[in-house]
Amino acid sequence: MKLTLLWTDIMVWILVLSLFGWSWVVARSPQVRQQLHTVFRSSIAMAAAIVLLFYALFALLDSVHFRIANQGGMVSLLDMAFEHRIKTSERTYSAPFATMEYTKSIMVDEEDGTTKQVYLPLKYVTQSNIWLESLMAMALGVAISFALIGLHILWRKRQGWREELPWDIAYLTLSLMIIVFGWLYWMSFDYHVLGTDKVGGDVLYQSLKSIRTGVLIGILTTLVTLPLAIFLGVSAGFFRGWVDDIIQYIYTTLNSIPGVLLIAAAVLLMQVVMDNNPQWFETTQERSDLRLLFLVIILGITSWTGLCRLLRAETLKISQIEFVTAAKAFGVSKFTIIRRHIIPNLMHIILISVVLDFSGLVLAEAVLSYVGVGVDPTMYSWGNMINQARLEMARDPMVWWSLYSAFVFMFILVLAANLFSDRVQVVLDPRNNS
DSSP code string of 232-264: HHHHHHHH-HHHHHHHHHHHHHHHHS-HHHHHH
Least Cα distance to 140 among 92, 175, 114, 107 occurs for 175
Are the C-beta atoms of 94 and 195 separated by less than 8 Å? yes
On average, the pLDDT of the chain sits at: 84
96-105 tens-digit pLDDT: 988 888 888 7
Give residue 72's pLDDT: 62
Coil, strand or helix at 164 = coil
151-169 tens-digit pLDDT: 988 888 887 666 678 889 9
Query: Is pLDDT at 171 greater than 90 in this prediction?
Result: yes
By CB neighbour count within 10 A (0-12 exposed, 13-18 middle, 19+ buried), where does 172 fall?
Answer: middle
Least Cα distance to 216 among 11, 423, 431 occurs for 11
Cβ neighbors of 156 (< 8 A, separation 6 or more) are 167
Instruction: Check if CATH label 1.10.3720.10 holds for domain 203-428.
Output: yes
pLDDT category of residue 434 using cuts at 50, 70 and 90: very low
The C-alpha atoms of residue 67 and residue 283 are separated, in whole angstroms, by 10
* C-alpha distances out from residue 268 to 144, 256, 265, 271, 296, Å: 47, 20, 5, 5, 14
Give residue 145's pLDDT: 94
How far separated are the first and last CA of the chain, in Å rounded? 53
- Report the side by side order of strands in the sheet with 65-67: 2-4, 65-67, 74-76
The C-alpha atoms of residue 319 and residue 257 are separated, in whole angstroms, by 31
Sequence letter at residue 315: T
CA 349, distance to chain mean position in Å, is 22
The C-alpha atoms of residue 260 and residue 263 are separated, in whole angstroms, by 5
* C-alpha distances out from residue 255 to 237, 258, 301, 303, 306, Å: 19, 7, 12, 9, 9
pLDDT category of residue 208 using cuts at 50, 70 and 90: very high
The C-alpha atoms of residue 252 and residue 25 are separated, in whole angstroms, by 37
Least Cα distance to 232 among 220, 250, 214, 216 occurs for 250
Query: Is pLDDT at 178 greater than 90 in this prediction?
Result: yes
Coil, strand or helix at 116 = strand
Q: For residues 426 and 113, which has the higher predicted lDDT (pLDDT)?
A: 426
Sign of CA dihedral 66, 15, 24, 434: negative
Are the C-beta atoms of 111 and 75 separated by less than 8 Å? no
What is the greatest pairwise CA distance in the chain?
Answer: 103
Give mean pLDDT, residues 25-34.
75
Least Cα distance to 8 among 84, 60, 52 occurs for 60
pTM of the model: 0.86
Give residue 141's pLDDT: 93
